[in-house]
Structure 1
């Protein structure tokens, strides 16, 4: 059974058709890249797949749930518990330490504080940040900040992680390390990733590469 399946996803902004009927399937443990020119609809699609936006028409089945049948409150709960996000600009909160930033989605979901902190510490340790857990984002390098963001995405053991240009703000060395991290997490945890990227090297490493052009996925 597919982890994620879309049927005829369409999205318009005023008179502009951005997505014109998207049908895709993603299997558990896959790393799928999404590429395309600026304005092709990549980010719009990622926002819909991540339930941050609703389509005008179409269906999204994610982890067995027809997500757009949920009301906004239930959808937000599903998103927090079953979906992780990594953004180009890591969106870490500057007033919180690395450990606290990773813990936030777990606290929001109402999980036991001690267990959340233990898992956050374990994740940061696995990602090579054992000695940086009490540091604030301003005290971390760009690569370290993105690894904190990856740990935060994983804290609730999501079914899938969506990454929007995750290496776009990194130098080539840190970008390569981040790319390899995704594959290591897939191998260790069976984690599924969907990555929107302009980085052709990362896109080509994925199990599958989907290209969007003029609002449709090319096969």
Structure 2
């Protein structure tokens, strides 16, 4: 599965000549978190399990004994985890070349609806300063510039995440948390819920949204969410 995901990603990048010859700058790695003990680089994609991944990194780092003990605010405001752009040029390249680089992604429309439900249906001060425009951005993790070793999907999160933890030799008692971080009584944003939200838009609005995320759909091999899209 990993080989296939990476192959599709590389082929899409070379076909569309995205980022291939650009130099990696601190900006490109500003969303990548560093775990030095297990030599892991994790690129944060909002609404694709990032809160729970940060909990896992904190446990790997020895900052907590269990993912259950870590509050939401600690995860996002605590600044316990190091970011790759905090290192000098040599430190950045050394880690990019020797650490296991991983990325978890989510179906773009579903990610957008999940963010919308959180941000507008439960107004809070958290979204804007922490994620802001990142929620709707494309290519957050520069996948055409950085050669990720592992590409996981939100849709198969438990399986992919626990396979990755096994891969890096994480402690056997550490598994990916299943709990929903916020608004835990509400149903998760599923394909069905996403369809309901997008059905309220006009066909041209849906098309514009799809065009915006077109490369993400290609690169990560997601099928068209609506039949009338071209």
Q: Which structure: greater helix fraction?
A: 2
Instruction: Tell me the TM-score normalised to structure 1 length.
Output: 0.31
Q: Which structure: greater strand fraction?
A: 1
